[in-house]
Amino acid sequence: MAKYDRFADLPVWQSAAELYNAVLDLLETSNASLLSPGFRNQLDRAALSVSNNIAEGFERSTKAELLAFLAIARGSAGEVRSMIAVVKARSTLKPITRALEKIRQLAESCARQLTGWETSLQKLPFDGARHLPETERKIRESKQKFTNFRQGFLRTLKRDHPLYNFPEAQAARDQPDS
């Protein structure tokens, strides 16, 4: 499987993608016509919203923004579960009962994972990259300056320097200037 973005490595995003694909599997069967067009459309949109909001939140810069999008994703998972609960007792839907139950279980799993992630994020001592405590920001900047200096030094070594053939110096020469 090709990697498309960093969020694709998140287990909860993978679960959300599995949820959406289960919805697509149902909607692509001939039995999907047992559901009204409006129901099918809303189920499709709500299920896709889970993974999209996880991805959008993951790309944001602050903890508050991420938490807001995770809450929306969790709400969309709840919407999917609600939709299944509304129609589960309809006798005309017996042929798709298994598919509906699988979708419900996947939506519930996503909601649990999102709740866990939100809880762990709320315990973090800072609000995101833009809001790092000053001491943490200075430490990161200092480490980056040191790394840049070291890379520059290793990149400019003369061939007769004892470190010239060390793997780190070779790697520094192979990297483009930053």
| Rounded percentage of the chain residues whose pLDDT exceeds 70 | 92
Domain boundaries, the chain: 6-129, 132-174
7-21: pLDDT as tens digits: 788 899 999 999 999
pLDDT of residue 90: 95
Stated pTM of the model = 0.69
More confident position, 124 or 98:
98
For 62, phi then psi, to 5°, come to -120, 155
Are the C-beta atoms of 58 and 102 separated by less than 8 Å?
no
What is the model's pLDDT at position 1?
A: 42
Is the pLDDT confidence value at 149 over 80?
yes
Fold of 6-129: de novo design (two linked rop proteins) (1.20.1440)
The structure tokens listed for 18 are 């599995």
What mean pLDDT value characterizes the chain?
89
For 119, half-sphere exposure in the C-beta direction (CA atoms, 13 angstrom radius) is: 6
Q: How far is CA 156 from the centre of its chain?
A: 40
Mean pLDDT, residues 133-144:
78
For the stretch 42-82, pLDDT in tens is 999 999 999 999 999 988 878 889 999 999 999 999 999 99
